[in-house]
Amino acid sequence: MTRSGRRDFLRTALCATASSAAFGSMLGKLSLAHAATPKALAGTDYRALVFVYLSGGNDAFNMLVPRDAAHHATYAAARGPLALARDSLLPINPLVAPSDGASYGLHPRMAGLQQLFEAGRAAIVSNVGPLLYPITKAQYQTETVPAPMQIASHSDQEVLWQMPQGESLGARLGWGGKLADLYAAGSTSNLPMSVSLGGENVFQAGADTAPYYMGAYGVDAISPIDYPNPRRAAFEAILAQSYAHPFERAYVQKLQRSRALAAQVALALEAQPENAAPFNAFDTAWQALPTPREMPGIGRDLKMIARMIAARTTLNAQRQIFYVSMGGFDTHATQLADHAELLEDLSVALKTFHDVLASPQLAVGSRVTTFTGSEFGRSLFNNGDGTDHAWGGHQLVVGGAVNGRRIYGTMPSLVGDSDLNPDDTGYGHIIPTLAVEQYAATLAKWYGVSDTDRALIFPNLGRFSTPNLGFLA
């Protein structure tokens, strides 16, 4: 092979590898110039966080709906043609009455989530969103207290939801990544603590750590070199050469480690066959619906995460942070039909995932906490056929360690007149009463981060009165 041909081949392989497992953010992660030493926290007992990101902005006000006559009438007046009928709602019975004294029900297509909630394995955290400080309607309108920038922007709010503080979009270090940074030096696993099935994301970006990227079907192969053929032999010969330039050496080393880890993960997954119990529960879950259909992407992703968790001993993983993205929640139009199917898929996936983890084969139901996030909630008002970008919204937390069957936080007013609604900015945007930091810090506390160390991840948490919301034991 000529020198130019070798250069082109390396360039092609680099592009392929950069999109494959364990090679994300390569330029920032070569560690040639970055020598910061992370603080090593102990993680001897297995725990995992699974972040299910609802991309597009979930309409939480049609996910959790008042079902007593008075509160439902207020909701229906605000929502108009998007309002769900009272008798269609799936009733939930919290152990502690919600802050507004209303009775609530879940969307009629969320039977799985209803079962988890009533069994004490799920909680609802109300009206969460990016905040710089606690803020009232008057303070927002007079601009006497700072608020996050570009509240209705998908890209900006997605970043602010996944970062540990909201002032700057420039740092791009997520609270999941900073959490992994604290544990990285104490980990003995070759597999990075963070694993993404949702591609590149801010949440898992750390100063010292990067996520391992994989797909719902396992490790992504680099087809020209991962199977026996002449190209593979040529590539192996290129890797075997000596290189004078430090970047060339670092690239070769990184690629070799990436390929070795991919082989290790693939081998570990072979011992957890996807068609075997309990994982095959995912394959039958959607077939058991009143209108059977194929398993959607969120089901395939959580099935793979369940298999990775089952392989934790083989992979020598003590702490893990998973990320998956579920799209379609930008429901500007045809919301009643589209949102219903999305919520059903989410409900079935969360219920099946928890049941698989709690099965006798895995028995880690209390060691894994799954939680949702979404860049913003939707507007209280309808736009005729859907809803628009807004601010605060409700989130779901599922797992055996959840202090479940409760609705945490303050329920917002659903009065449709903006002048009369104390929580409405004036555009049907509900002001969050819980900050993302409070929500995330509660999850980090369960993961093992002490009250002292959490300031390393959430430097602005002290601005809010309740650093631990109490939804995890």
Q: How confident is the model at residue 325 (pLDDT cuts 50, 70, 90)?
A: very high
Tokens 């007013």 label which residue? Answer: 413
- The structural domain count of the chain equals 1
113-118 long-range CB contacts below 8 Å, 24 or more apart?
113/346, 113/347, 113/350, 113/351, 113/396, 113/398, 114/90, 114/347, 115/351, 116/350, 116/351, 116/354, 116/398, 116/404, 117/92, 117/404, 117/405, 118/92, 118/93, 118/405
DSSP labels, 237-306: HHHHS---SHHHHHHHHHHHHHHHHHHHHHHHHHTS-TTSTTTTHHHHHTTTSSS-----HHHHHHHHHH
Give the pTM: 0.91
Specify if 13 maps to a domain: no
Structure tokens at 100: 């507004």
Which range, of 7-16, 128-137, 367-376, 451-460, averages the lowest pLDDT?
A: 7-16
Beta strands in 122-200 (DSSP E): 122-129, 194-196
Question: What does the pLDDT look like over 9-33, one tens digit per residue?
Answer: 444 444 344 334 344 443 333 333 3
Question: What does the pLDDT look like over 179-207, one tens digit per residue?
Answer: 999 999 889 999 999 999 999 999 999 99
Of residues 266 and 24, more confidently modeled: 266
- Report helix, strand or coil for 373: strand
Specify if 205 maps to a domain: yes
What is the domain-level CATH number for residue 381? 3.40.720
Question: What does the pLDDT look like over 38-67, one tens digit per residue?
Answer: 455 555 689 999 999 999 999 999 999 999
Specify if 257 maps to a domain: no
Specify if 21 maps to a domain: no
Residue 14 confidence (pLDDT): 42
Rounded Cα–Cα distance for residues 219 and 307 (Å): 12
Of residues 34 and 224, more confidently modeled: 224
Question: What does the pLDDT look like over 381-393, one tens digit per residue?
Answer: 999 999 999 999 9
Rounded Cα–Cα distance for residues 65 and 67 (Å): 6
Specify if 419 maps to a domain: yes
Residue 230 confidence (pLDDT): 80
Question: What does the pLDDT look like over 136-184, one tens digit per residue?
Answer: 999 999 999 999 989 999 999 999 999 976 555 567 899 999 999 999 9
DSSP 8-state assignment for residue 84: P
Question: What percentage of the chain reaches a pLDDT higher than 90?
Answer: 80
Residue 22 confidence (pLDDT): 40
Residue 1 confidence (pLDDT): 44
Specify if 28 maps to a domain: no
Specify if 385 maps to a domain: yes
- When the pLDDT of each residue in the chain is averaged and rounded to a whole number, the result is 90
Domain with 180, as residue range(s), is 36-217+272-310+318-463
Question: CA quadruple 433, 437, 439, 442: dihedral positive or negative?
Answer: negative
Specify if 468 maps to a domain: no
Residue 17 confidence (pLDDT): 43
Which range, of 212-216, 226-230, 270-274, averages the lowest pLDDT?
A: 226-230
